[in-house]
Structure 1
Amino acid sequence: MFRKLLATAFVLLFAFTLTAVGQDLSIGYMNPQEVLSQLPERADIEQQLNSFIQEKRSELERESTAFQQAVSTYQQNAASMSEQEQQKREEELATREQELMEMQQSIQQQVQQRRSELMAPIYNRMDQAIAATAEANNLDFVLNEATGMGETIIYYSADQKLNVTQQVLDRMNSESN
């Protein structure tokens, strides 16, 4: 909430500063999530990402199952082991558990990196479409209608033609055909 207010205050302060200097300021806004959700290639990217996630999930499940089996085997045989042997096995299991947690974190990073790699071309096209739309409409700025968390930044616009979401989507679709 604070970030939203700070961002809004910054934009308003910037707009008032430029207006006070005597320049006319033209600002448009758009909803990038709406654009992304309507792109046909988004489904292919989601399928590739889901396939990658499933592959990594399977790797993690195999390692987790192997770890659980090792713990179960230890618990079944612990009574017949010496204290020194028990301590050694517990240390091995603790190390293996730590490796499993590190593997999980690594997989999360790999998924995030893969998502970024797959989405980069779309984001680049969107940036180009936004720039072209802004130039075509003589806009000085194009704001995001909402934050990354879905919180609205633009609550009201007296002029709906300042919403360039559909124009950006149309431009992106025409470039991909």
Structure 2
Amino acid sequence: MFRKLTSLCFLFLFVVSTSAFGQLNIGYLNTQEVMSQMPERPQVEQELNSFIQEKRQELQQRTTEFQDSVAEFQQNQENMSEAEIQKKEKQLAQMEREMTQFQRGLQQQIQQRRATLLEPLYNKMNEAISTVAERNDLDFVINEATSNGENVVYYAASEKMDITKQVLQYINETSDQN
């Protein structure tokens, strides 16, 4: 919260100081709205969901294999020598460590895949923002809200400053051309 207030104060001071020396044109947009309405978004979500489902099935398979091995060990433990029991317990412990490591790595793999799939969309959105900002002779474009939904722009004197619809229109026009 303190960082947000500090950032807003610095932004306000910057705007006031630059306004004293000349006209400053600032626009804002809602990047979450832009991302949610991009034509490629459903395909990206489908690919990501397929990847997640594939990894969940792999995790389920490993879990089932581990559970089967534990059940088999418990069932046959009475007929095993002490050395065989110790060897099998070591194998099961190793399987459990590998499964835990796989679970930890799974979230990282999903995040990496999400970033890889979303990168072209972010690049396209950034290109659209730049183009619309240049067309409107804007010096700055501010994101209307932070990634966790907190407002950055609380008030705008004019709706003309909101370039969200223009950015979406540009993206849709350039998507039709591809």
TM-score normalised to structure 2 length: 0.88
In the alignment, the residues of structure 2 paired with residue 90 and residue 11 of structure 1 have an alpha-carbon distance, to the nearest angstrom, of: 61
Q: How does 1:13-162 map to 2 (within 5 A)?
A: 13-20=13-20, 22-162=21-161
In the alignment, the residues of structure 1 paired with residue 128 and residue 138 of structure 2 have an alpha-carbon distance, to the nearest angstrom, of: 13
- List alignment gaps of at least 5 residues for structure 1: none
* Percent of aligned pairs with the same amino acid: 52
Whichever residue aligns with residue 159 of structure 1, its letter is: S
- The one-character-per-residue Cα deviations of 1:35-73 (angstroms, maximum 9, x if unpaired) are 111122211111111111111111111011111112222
In the alignment, the residues of structure 1 paired with residue 108 and residue 114 of structure 2 have an alpha-carbon distance, to the nearest angstrom, of: 10
> What's the counterpart of residue 172 of structure 1?
171
Pairwise CA RMSD of aligned residues?
Answer: 1.9
What number of residue pairs does the alignment pair up? 176
Whichever residue aligns with residue 101 of structure 1, its letter is: T
**Partners of 1:4 and 1:147 within 8 A in 2:** no
- List alignment gaps of at least 5 residues for structure 2: none
In the alignment, the residues of structure 2 paired with residue 112 and residue 16 of structure 1 have an alpha-carbon distance, to the nearest angstrom, of: 40
In the alignment, the residues of structure 2 paired with residue 136 and residue 151 of structure 1 have an alpha-carbon distance, to the nearest angstrom, of: 28
In the alignment, the residues of structure 2 paired with residue 86 and residue 62 of structure 1 have an alpha-carbon distance, to the nearest angstrom, of: 24
Q: SS in structure 1 opposite 2:65?
A: helix
In the alignment, the residues of structure 1 paired with residue 74 and residue 13 of structure 2 have an alpha-carbon distance, to the nearest angstrom, of: 65
Whichever residue aligns with residue 29 of structure 2, its letter is: M
Q: SS in structure 1 opposite 2:149?
A: coil
Q: In terms of mean alpha carbon deviation, does 79-88 or 4-13 score higher? A: 79-88
In the alignment, the residues of structure 2 paired with residue 162 and residue 50 of structure 1 have an alpha-carbon distance, to the nearest angstrom, of: 36
> What's the counterpart of residue 4 of structure 1?
4
In the alignment, the residues of structure 1 paired with residue 77 and residue 10 of structure 2 have an alpha-carbon distance, to the nearest angstrom, of: 64
In the alignment, the residues of structure 2 paired with residue 46 and residue 168 of structure 1 have an alpha-carbon distance, to the nearest angstrom, of: 21
In the alignment, the residues of structure 2 paired with residue 162 and residue 33 of structure 1 have an alpha-carbon distance, to the nearest angstrom, of: 17
Q: SS in structure 2 opposite 1:53?
A: helix
